[in-house]
Amino acid sequence: MKKHNFSAGPCILPQEVLKQASDAILNFNDDNLSLIEISHRSKPFVEVMEKAQNLVKELLELPEGYSVLFLQGGASTQFLMTAYNLMKTDGKAAYLDTGTWSSKALKEAKLFGDVDIIASSKDKGYNYIPKNYTVPSDADYLHLTSNNTIYGTQLKEFPKTEGLLVCDMSSDIFSRKMDFSQFDLIYAGAQKNMGPAGATLVIVKDEILGKTGRQIPSMLDYKIHIDKDSMFNTPPVFAVYVSMLTLQWLKDNGGIEAIEKINEQKAALLYAEIDSNPAFVGFAAKEDRSSMNVTFNLTDQSNQEKFDKLWNEAGINGLKGHRSVGGYRASMYNALPLESVQVLVDVMKQI
């Protein structure tokens, strides 16, 4: 039976990418060596790293002056690296609190200085994105989370700031067109929409670094990682390679503009069923709904056993909601085909 993978992370990946990656595990570049046993400083892998970095710049249409890094430690390490590298010793940072990950990020930032939580949606269980907030002019940077996987909300617009603009794009990077040059720093764990767990993408404007007045440990210093081309320590070779393959797949299929149209179709199809079927109710405020993570609940919990049986029998995987929210969550990352969403909708129509 074909599986329809709605898992929130690790994410679904294109079948052709998985095939190429599995072949490379046994024989990379026809050298009769495995990808995961060659030197990360060998010419074949240096070419992989460079191609991955260049694909990021090309797909996001980044201007000159940005560096692309593939690091380890997940987005969670970026919670503290961001503050370490951007918050001045006597400065402060502004944070928009829209969910679990933003609240964890601001917790880490508090270790380095003052943190101004300019708005929060915690009062309603993070089911909306705050509006009409003011960004303090004296903040070193504003930190946003573009998409909230647990709650199914997504920022549709990004504010202008006098300071730097930082964004955690772990779960919607490469999913929609926007002006990425408005951001000074972007980070994203690969496992949500780009590759397997183990690599973290960081995109940073070079000119913003080295201005905090603090000494930064080498492993947490963006400048050192830039100078060493993401190879200050042994990089996550397999995760970088699969991310490179996925980015090439995206380019070959029309890039971000093309995938955004498909993502919009998938989201429209599923939200239409949620809104028209009295057996279901959406969790997130309609104007803030995510196109990547659709969160919903049953209106009558007595239908849970029947619904769970139906979607499992249909070959659907990863539909359970996050343990902190409950209900259901359909994660529809770039590689999820429209066909899979139709299968889920057909199941929902039986309730």
What residues act catalytically? Answer: 101, 168, 192
What DSSP state is assigned to residue 133? -
State the Cα–Cα distance between residues 176 and 308, nearest whole angstrom: 31
Contact (Cβ atoms closer than 8 angstroms) between residue 9 and residue 331 = yes
One-letter identity of residue 13: L
First to last CA, the chain: 22
Where does residue 103 rank: exposed (0-12), middle (13-18), buried (19+ CB within 10 A)? Answer: middle
Contact (Cβ atoms closer than 8 angstroms) between residue 177 and residue 256 = yes
Q: What would the two tokens of residue 88 be?
A: 């001045």
DSSP, collapsed to helix, strand or coil, labels residue 165 as strand
> Could you give the residue ranges of the DSSP H alpha helices within the chain?
15-26, 43-60, 74-86, 100-109, 222-227, 237-252, 255-276, 304-313, 338-348
State the Cα–Cα distance between residues 44 and 31, nearest whole angstrom: 10
State the Cα–Cα distance between residues 69 and 91, nearest whole angstrom: 26
Contact (Cβ atoms closer than 8 angstroms) between residue 263 and residue 289 = no
DSSP assignments along 245-311, one per residue: HHHHHHHHTTHHHHHHHHHHHHHHHHHHHHHH-TTEEESS-GGGB-SSEEEEEESSGGGHHHHHHHH
Where does residue 114 rank: exposed (0-12), middle (13-18), buried (19+ CB within 10 A)? Answer: middle
